[in-house]
Amino acid sequence: MTLQSLLKTLKTIKKSSPSTLSPNPYQHLPHLVSQCLRPSSKPLNASTFSDLNPTTFHDILTNPDFKASKCFRFFDFVVKNQALVSFKPDLQVYSTFMSRLLKARLFSDAEVLLKSLLIDENARYPFLVIASTFENRCFESKIMAKFFNLMLKVNSDNGKFGEVSNTFDYMKNNGIKIDERTCTVHLNALKRADELGLVLDFFYQMVETVLEISVYSLTAVVDGCCRNGDIKKGREIVEEMAGRGIKASVITYNKLIDSCTKRRDFEELDLVLVLMEKGAVGFNVVTYKFLIDGYTSYGKIEEAERLVGEMHNKGLRVDTYLYNLMINGYCKLGSIESVLLLFDRMSNRGVKPNADTYWPLINWYSKVGELLVAMKYVNEMQKRGFELDKVTYDMLINRFCLNGMAYEAFELQIEMERKGFHADISLCNQMGKLLCEINQTEKAKMLMNIMIKRGIRPKTVSFSSAISQKWQRKRFSGVEMPLHEIQ
């Protein structure tokens, strides 16, 4: 038989005979996956997954015809519905599918998958078993590095700090590239957990591994030291890292400066500022704010004013808040001349005052008995559209009463009521007594009515006694008071 005749015969046999080849092993998988992921009112049961076993599950996850994102949803469904399937995904399946997700750059999905293995599975597998299994199934160094850095992050995010150290050591010993940014994330996690000792240990592990330490990691460590009150340690680390060529930023120094000023550790602050100057790191607006706030709270107002002038010279924005700090500081020292000079400078430099700017002046002048001057600033403040609050009203009414100015106190109290504020009961009683003493009984009765309408019982000694004394004086002088006035 010729070759041509043989080929013709074989072709005839193929057409007439049913195929003896096994059917496509994947032909039922798309329907199964779609059935799981499709929204349905009918609940799924175990019979739906009767054909699903470890082999078919592996086939689905590695099938290139299925998108990795769709496979992830199917994997997640199986993990969350273990009662419907006859098996539990093993470590080999996790490792294989993890590699696929990382290659597809589906990092968020990979993180969820890894969390389900490391955290949700309650450490079902020891670290070394997981590490060796993944290494045996992944031969790309970039994917390997992504996996172990992700493992470091997942453990850190979930407070498994011991596992982070194991992962870090394994990566270092096996030449797997460590992502410095992931290490920074871990430093911040340790800092939030108030684990300063672990922060320092891990940071020096990073340094010894000859990682290229970023300023973000350095700042995280310094911030951790400052939060724990160990400013000196933070400064020493900055100095040490400068010797290694790692330069701190102005943000790093601001952490130290803020901590120094809040704790009033000006000796340490001077050392920080010297170190900052040595590193040629200039101040930013936040630096000035921390320093000015610190100096004014400690009474070093002239130093604060020098810094404000420096800000203006550099063209930096100086807000009203910084001037308010200095004005308040000078008022506490009784240096009213300096306050008035500051007011002029504010105006000349285009910085507008606010209600907090006027409060120290109003408080100071009323305290020393200069109530007319205090009211001048109240009027100026109100013309600018700033209203008094209850605290200021109460303070002024009290000062008017202490200076025997009952009429002025009463007028201010009426204004206060119109604005929706109510004076303290003790102030009302004090005011009522003074009004009676200066024969302003009508105003005293008005005040009494206001108190009664508010549901407050006026103090008898303050009102009735004073009115009674007035009636006694008039009686002995031969003048009869009307009955309704006595009442």
Q: Which of 96, 106, 11, 25 is nearest to 62 (CA)?
A: 96
pLDDT classification of 448: cutoffs 50, 70, 90:
confident
Q: Which of 52, 55, 108, 103 is nearest to 81 (CA)?
A: 52
User: Quick one: CA torsion of 163, 167, 168, 173, rounded to 10 degrees?
Assistant: 140
Which carries the bigger pLDDT value, residue 208 or residue 87? 208
pLDDT of 409: 87
Q: What tokens appear for 22 in the block?
A: 């096994």
* CA distances (Å), origin 391, targets 363, 367, 396, 424: 11, 14, 9, 10
Q: Which helix (H) or strand (E) holds 342?
A: helix 336-348
Inform me whether the pLDDT recorded for 85 exceeds 90: no
Q: Which of 411, 415, 463, 414 is nearest to 436 (CA)?
A: 463
* CA distances (Å), origin 375, targets 194, 397, 402: 51, 11, 16
Q: Which of 113, 80, 73, 119 is nearest to 94 (CA)?
A: 113
Q: What tokens appear for 315 in the block?
A: 């063209």
Whether residue 184 contacts residue 213, with contact meaning beta carbons closer than 8 Å, is answered with no
Least confident of 81-90, 228-237, 287-296: 81-90
- Please give the Cα distance from 302 to 258 (Å, whole number): 19
Distance of CA 148 to the CA centre of its chain: 30
Inform me whether the pLDDT recorded for 484 exceeds 70: no
pLDDT classification of 38: cutoffs 50, 70, 90:
low
How large is the average pLDDT for residues 212-229? 95
Inform me whether the pLDDT recorded for 203 exceeds 70: yes
Q: Which of 74, 48, 43 is nearest to 61 (CA)?
A: 74
**Per-residue pLDDT tens digits for 145-202:** 999 999 999 999 999 999 999 999 999 999 999 999 999 999 999 999 999 999 999 9
* Overall pTM surpassing 0.85 (yes/no): no
Place of tokens 């019979």: 47
Q: What is the mean pLDDT of the chain?
A: 84
- Please give the Cα distance from 39 to 115 (Å, whole number): 26
**Range picked from 56-65, 117-126, 446-455 for highest mean pLDDT:** 56-65
